[in-house]
Amino acid sequence: MILVTGGAGFIGSNFVLDWLDKLDEPVINLDKLTYAGNLDNLKTVADNKKHIFVKGDIGDFELVSKLLAEHKPRAVLNFAAESHVDRSIHGPEDFIQTNVVGTFHLLEAVRAYWRGLDDEEKAAFKFLHVSTDEVYGTLEKNDPPFNERNRYEPNSPYSASKAASDHLVRAYHHTYGLPVLTTNCSNNYGPYHFPEKLIPLVIHNALNGKPLPIYGDGQQIRDWLFVKDHCTAIRRVLSAGRLGETYNVGGWNEKPNLEVVHTICDILDELQPRADGQSYKSQITFVKDRPGHDRRYAIDATKLEKELGWKPAETFETGIRKTVQWYLDNQAWVENITSGQYLKWVEKQYQ
């Protein structure tokens, strides 16, 4: 059995769904169900006895300790995080509480649990911490991509809080011997992505005749990673990664934001054309850039490929087409998110 935190969020829910689809091992899924945590993501496993959902906070030491003692997982995978840069600019405290303080309390509970295991269980146990490439800061156009030896230079409250959590995980390995693994991924995209992020926002706004907002000149470059490729990478690191090591996970797909939006518009023009015959590109609107906007991220995932044999299965072209088609096929999910109906349901369900 494994324990997954943040397993109702975008990446976490994709990981849980893939895990249960491909493996026979049960999952304890702990999620606080903040605005981005959504049980609709997990509808297909709602009746799966190998999926045990628990509403709760990684910062709740007593709850986490109880779950660990009761279920005795062989691994803990920490996806739980506040993750939106714009929200961190307007309200940084939530990011410090979840990403720093919450990770600290989670580590303390896991450390106490791990120390109480017998020698064989202790040797088999792993704590995998999922992080971001944003901890490395920003790159100039011709700089080499980030590798695992890059210095941390976070530029937003979000990335600073994730950098702090990474440092805590590292410290718990070197100080206490906790068997940890850390992954730093590039920009994910795919099914169940909360509609405030660029790709799902553009798809949703395009279909609803709203402006497609582009920060600044739209030339901010990101390395795009299909979320299901990210899930396979995490499974691989969990099974074969060297303890105490960090592995960068990237898609080898550097694209400027404006090109990403143009690609989405081209696919929508093909799959669901506008009634007036115009391209969705006509809805593109340039807006004032956000404060501290990093110009370029890029991940060098060579270490993961050489040591563990992992490479992404999707190109950006194949992954983005699958993503657009998923949103077209799952408009009810999008409407529940944007209307807030699922939040009302959660309040009623967990009153």
Q: How many percent of the chain have pLDDT more than 70?
A: 97
Among the listed residues 57, 133, 223, 294, the single catalytic one is 133
Kindly indicate the confidence band of residue 343, based on its pLDDT and cuts at 50, 70 and 90: low
Residue 351 confidence (pLDDT) above 50: no
Query: The domain that contains 199 carries what CATH number?
Result: 3.40.50.720
Q: What pLDDT score was predicted for residue 346?
A: 47
Average pLDDT, the chain: 94
User: Does 349 score more than 50 pLDDT?
Assistant: no
Region of 148 on the Ramachandran plot (φ > 0 left; ψ -120 to 50 alpha; else beta): alpha
Our CA dihedral for 53, 106, 237, 30, rounded to 10 degrees, sits at: 10
Interatomic CA distance for residues 333 and 337, integer angstroms: 6
Percent of the chain with pLDDT over 90: 87
Place of tokens 């960068």: 248
Catalytic residue among 136, 158, 172, 192: 158
Count CB neighbours of 146 within 10 A.
26
* Rounded distance between C-alpha atoms, residue 238 and residue 125, angstroms: 10
Other C-beta atoms closer than 10 Å to the C-beta of 79 total: 26
Specify the 3-state DSSP secondary structure of 65: helix
Please indicate whether residue 327 is annotated as part of the active site: no
- Please name the amino acid found at residue 77: L
| Per-residue pLDDT, 340 | 67
Active site residue 158: yes
Q: Which residue carries 């009302």 as its tokens?
A: 344
Domain limits for position 13: 2-349
Annotated catalytic residue within 31, 57, 82, 134: 134
* The total number of structural domains that make up the chain: 1
Phi, psi of 283 (to 5 degrees): -90, -5
Q: What is the mean pLDDT of the segment spanning 186-191?
A: 97
Summarised one tens digit per residue, pLDDT across range 241-287 is 999 999 999 999 999 999 999 999 999 999 999 999 999 999 999 99
pLDDT digits (tens, 9 = 90+) for 36-53: 789 999 999 999 999 999
Q: Is 217 a catalytic residue?
A: no
